[in-house]
């Protein structure tokens, strides 16, 4: 009896020690993501935010869209009946696009909030797309940032990269931004570059090249967003509400509606080559030393997936990965 009790207590101690170590490791991994980022110039300060009504119209799920603060802010929601989303009133051919977003708190596995550019409506078999996708979390994970690029209808070959955040994206608004011009596509979070996709070499053949609309949507991605659908949305926690503020769209517009910091594409086409992009300053043509340092920091500490390292998915790596 005493021997069995001692054995039980010993096993209990070992189990407790194991559980403590695992808990500490998980907590350490989670806490380690909350780094202080390098200092960078805030690119969002260079542009004038648009009122939501001025820049966007309802794309779908109208009842789940709320315009507030005289149009300066909006909320979009996902519930059991529908997701919701906005679409820009103009198409753009290059520019700077940004939104301050506060994500839904709590368990949100399967929820996808996307801030992206696409022309799938006009080129259904040959479309381009530049995606920032924010993937909801369950009890095991934090929210995840996924970036993706499609060009010329190549929807079978996504170019995904995934990152953990260095902050809690549900606590307050953070800036999610895209630079798209003749030189490169850059994805930024709070002006920290997390990915650069250059328009040169092997990248040029898969570079988005046609005018696109800007979208911000929230929807049910249960079938793919969390480990292949392992953790679907639990609508017991609905509605899932995201807050949007400081929407910025500055670029070459295919339409003739006037927006701050934007010009019509017809005027841009007659400009000198150095001014063919409306966001043409040095800070948009190439990354500064400060931005390169920040990019390296984000990718070394927070990126956990890149399509260019997925040998199980690609028997032959895409040409730009070589």
Beta strands 263-264 and 240-253, pairing class: parallel
| 133 is an active site residue | yes
Q: How far is CA 314 from CA 203, 305, 306, 319, 321, in A?
A: 17, 14, 12, 11, 11
Given the residues 133, 196, 248, 320, select the one marked as catalytic: 133
Give 283's contacts (C-beta < 8 A, 6+ positions apart).
41, 43, 46
Given the residues 129, 161, 196, 248, select the one marked as catalytic: 129
Tell whether the torsion through CA atoms of 295, 296, 297 and 302 is positive or negative: positive
| 129 is an active site residue | yes
Look at residue 16 and give its three-state secondary structure: helix
Q: Which ranges constitute the DSSP H helices of the chain?
A: 2-31, 52-55, 265-269, 282-285, 289-302
User: Which active-site residues does the annotation give?
Assistant: 129, 133
């Amino acid at each position: 009896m005493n021997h069995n009790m001692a054995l039980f207590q010993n096993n209990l101690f070992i189990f407790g020690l194991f559980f403590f170590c695992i808990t500490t490791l998980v907590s350490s991994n989670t806490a380690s993501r909350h780094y202080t980022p390098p200092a960078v110039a805030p690119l969002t300060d260079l542009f004038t935010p648009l009122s939501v009504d001025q820049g966007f119209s309802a794309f779908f799920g109208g009842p789940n869209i709320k315009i507030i603060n005289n149009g300066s802010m909006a909320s979009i929601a996902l519930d059991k009946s529908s997701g919701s989303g906005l679409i820009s009133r103009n198409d753009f051919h290059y520019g700077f696009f940004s939104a301050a977003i506060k994500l839904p708190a709590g368990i949100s596995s399967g929820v996808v909030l996307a801030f992206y550019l696409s022309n799938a409506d006009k080129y259904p078999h040959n479309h381009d797309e530049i995606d920032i996708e924010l993937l909801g979390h369950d009890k095991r994970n934090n929210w995840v940032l996924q970036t993706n690029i499609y060009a010329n209808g190549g929807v079978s070959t996504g170019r995904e990269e995934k990152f953990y955040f260095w902050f809690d994206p549900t606590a307050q608004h953070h800036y999610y931004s895209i630079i798209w011009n003749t030189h490169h596509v850059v994805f930024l979070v709070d002006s920290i570059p997390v990915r650069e996709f250059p328009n040169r070499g092997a990248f040029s053949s898969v570079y988005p090249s046609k005018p696109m609309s800007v979208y911000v949507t929230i929807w049910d991605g249960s079938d793919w967003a969390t480990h292949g659908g392992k953790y679907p949305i639990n609508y017991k926690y609905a509605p899932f509400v995201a807050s949007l503020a400081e929407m910025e769209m500055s670029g070459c517009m295919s339409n003739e509606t006037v927006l701050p910091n934007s010009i019509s594409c017809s005027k841009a086409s007659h400009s000198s080559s150095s001014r063919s992009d409306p966001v043409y300053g040095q800070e948009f043509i190439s990354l500064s030393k400060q931005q390169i340092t920040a990019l390296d920091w984000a990718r070394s500490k927070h990126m956990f997936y890149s399509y260019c390292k997925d040998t199980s998915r690609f028997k032959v790596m895409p040409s730009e990965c070589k």
